[in-house]
Amino acid sequence: MLVLVAALLLLGIVLGTVAHIPLPLTLAAATVIGCWLLIFAVRERASRRPR
């Protein structure tokens, strides 16, 4: 339950911040975060493959 409360609090903070910055900056930040997550996922998948 505590994890759920923390997640909702964090979501509220993030959405509150997004509501106050311009849309192009929001989209740029979302693109950067998405690329970082994609690179992380590819690296994790590559490191788990047996050699």
How far apart are alpha carbons 24 and 4 in whole angstroms? 30
- The pTM (predicted TM-score) of the whole model is 0.60
DSSP 21: S
Give the model's confidence band at 9: pLDDT under 50 very low, under 70 low, under 90 confident, else very high.
Answer: confident
CA neighbor of 17 nearest in space, from 33, 6, 29, 32: 29
Provide the pLDDT confidence category of residue 51 given band limits of 50, 70 and 90.
Answer: low
pLDDT digits (tens, 9 = 90+) for 23-42: 898 889 889 999 999 999 99
